[in-house]
């Protein structure tokens, strides 16, 4: 009888081992499949996130490009609107000159228009350079010609200003054209 029990146990044991192996293989397969599915889902999420981010960036580039074009088109609008009253004043001055008013009145009118224009440009950040008598600076001035200095103190200094230079803020927008003493 003990022999029969031993045989039965031996027969049962391999059967039990196979079922355990099959079950563990199934568990490993399910775990691997689950892991692969998780990775695929994560990849899909990352892909979707990337595509949305890329589309958002493209929209941003398109929007900023359109804004930049619009800004360039309307950049001078503010200055032009501020200068329209000066244009109106010039038109009034021309009509006034047709009526042959005195030279003194015309001079006064032109001075008023000139001052108005200077004030408008100054309010927009324009500043004129004062060059006469200063040392020549190639970062601010453009030497048109050199002439002999009237005295030793005017050597390498600006003797005459042919065309005034201007700053817009702190940046030179037009260099002064000057005559330098040699």
Q: Does residue 165 contact residue 136 with C-beta atoms inside 8 Å?
A: no
Residues 125 and 161 sit within 8 Å (Cβ to Cβ): no
| Cα separations in angstroms, 82 against 55, 94, 118, 120, 122 | 41, 20, 11, 7, 11
What does the pLDDT look like over 44-76, one tens digit per residue?
A: 999 999 999 999 999 999 999 999 988 887 778
pLDDT the model gives residue 73: 79
pLDDT reported for residue 124:
87
What is d(CA 58, CA 66) in angstroms, rounded to the nearest whole number?
Answer: 12
Q: SS3 for 161?
A: strand
**pLDDT, tens digit (0-9, with 9 covering 90-100), for 76-95:** 888 888 889 999 988 888 88
Whether the Cβ atoms of residue 115 and residue 86 lie closer than 8 Å to each other: no
Query: What are the boundaries of each domain within the chain?
Result: 1-74, 76-124, 127-182
CATH architecture assigned to 127-182 = Roll (2.30)
pLDDT along the chain (182 residues), means of 10: 55 50 62 87 95 96 93 81 89 81 82 91 91 91 91 90 92 93 89
Task: State the first-to-last Cα distance of the chain, in angstroms, to the nearest integer.
Answer: 134
Q: H helices of 75-132, where?
A: 77-98, 103-123
């Amino acid at each position: 009888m003990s022999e029969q029990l031993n045989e039965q146990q031996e027969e049962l044991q391999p059967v039990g081992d196979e079922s355990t192996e099959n079950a563990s293989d199934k568990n490993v397969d399910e775990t691997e499949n689950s892991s692969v599915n998780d990775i695929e889902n994560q990849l899909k999420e990352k892909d979707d996130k990337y595509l949305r981010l890329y589309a958002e960036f493209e929209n941003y580039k398109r929007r900023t490009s359109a804004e930049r074009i619009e800004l360039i088109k309307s950049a001078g609008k503010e200055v032009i609107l501020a200068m329209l009253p000066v244009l109106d004043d010039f038109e009034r001055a021309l009509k006034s000159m047709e009526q042959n008013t005195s030279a003194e009145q015309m001079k006064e009118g032109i001075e008023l228009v000139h001052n108005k224009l200077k004030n408008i440009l100054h309010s927009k950040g324009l500043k004129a350079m004062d060059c006469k008598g200063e040392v020549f600076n190639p970062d601010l001035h453009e030497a048109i010609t050199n002439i002999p200095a009237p005295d030793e103190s005017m050597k390498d200094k600006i003797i005459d200003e042919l065309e005034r230079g201007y700053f817009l803020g702190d940046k030179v927008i037009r260099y002064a054209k000057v005559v330098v003493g040699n």
